[in-house]
Amino acid sequence: MTKKKNELWEWTKALLIAVILAAFIRYFLFAPIVVDGLSMMPTLEDQDRMIVNKFSYEIGTPKRFDIIVFHAPEEKDYIKRVIGLPGDTIEYKDDILYVNGKAYNEPYLADYKKQVPDGPLTDPFTLEETKVARTTVPKGELFVMGDNRRFSKDSRHIGTIPFGKIIGKTSIVYWPLKDAHIVTVK
């Protein structure tokens, strides 16, 4: 009888440790997220499942063109691409991104731009003409955009994203399995 109690106790301890470890990993390190919508097409498809690295910005800072997950004003989590960092000026003209006056290539949009027959993929704007209504991205905040520029609700509409609203960085699509890959900027 004692041997059965010991074995049951050992299994219970192992299960408790596994549950605590899983909860710790999910809450502090990594979490799954489902892409909801078309705003990141063609990079991410609706219903793609991804892993969010929650600690990446605890040990580092966001970089231009990172794909991040953040808490949006509508009590929903959004997935967007970092375009502007604190202190940056942002302008889009002739379908070209300008950051601090320098033109940037966006290779992740190249194929998509070819598919848009009637005008630019991204309408021209300056940071001042967006919801941000400032000349530069504020300190401690990011300017983000979806890759599907015509159908993305992003910083042009909701303003900049405070660092405190960022959940983490994401770059691994794990489902559907046939489309599993690491998202990179070419």
**pLDDT tens, residue by residue, 142-174:** 999 999 888 899 999 999 999 999 999 988 888
Is residue 5 included in any domain, yes or no?
Answer: no
Is residue 16 included in any domain, yes or no?
Answer: no
pLDDT of residue 125: 93
CA nearest to 69, candidates 85, 56, 59:
56
Is residue 22 included in any domain, yes or no?
Answer: no
Report whether 183 contacts 46 (CB < 8 A).
no
CA nearest to 140, candidates 66, 62, 29, 36:
62
Active-site residue, from 54, 56, 80, 169: 80
Predicted confidence band of residue 113 (pLDDT cuts 50, 70, 90): confident
Segment 37-58 shows an average pLDDT of 84
169 is catalytic: no
Is residue 136 included in any domain, yes or no?
Answer: yes
pTM of structure: 0.83
Is residue 9 included in any domain, yes or no?
Answer: no
Active-site residue, from 39, 56, 152, 155: 39
Q: What is the mean pLDDT of the chain?
A: 85
What does the alpha-carbon distance between residue 31 and residue 152 come to, in Å, rounded to a whole number? Answer: 24
Is residue 4 included in any domain, yes or no?
Answer: no
What does the alpha-carbon distance between residue 169 and residue 68 come to, in Å, rounded to a whole number? Answer: 4
pLDDT of residue 91: 95
Segment 26-55 shows an average pLDDT of 81
Reduced to 3 states, what is the DSSP secondary structure of residue 98? Answer: strand
Number of structural domains (the chain) is 1
What does the alpha-carbon distance between residue 93 and residue 68 come to, in Å, rounded to a whole number? Answer: 24
pLDDT of residue 103: 95
CATH number of the domain encompassing residue 146: 2.10.109.10
The residue range of the domain holding 143 is 30-182
- DSSP H stretches of helix in the chain: 2-24, 56-59, 110-115, 155-158
153 is catalytic: no
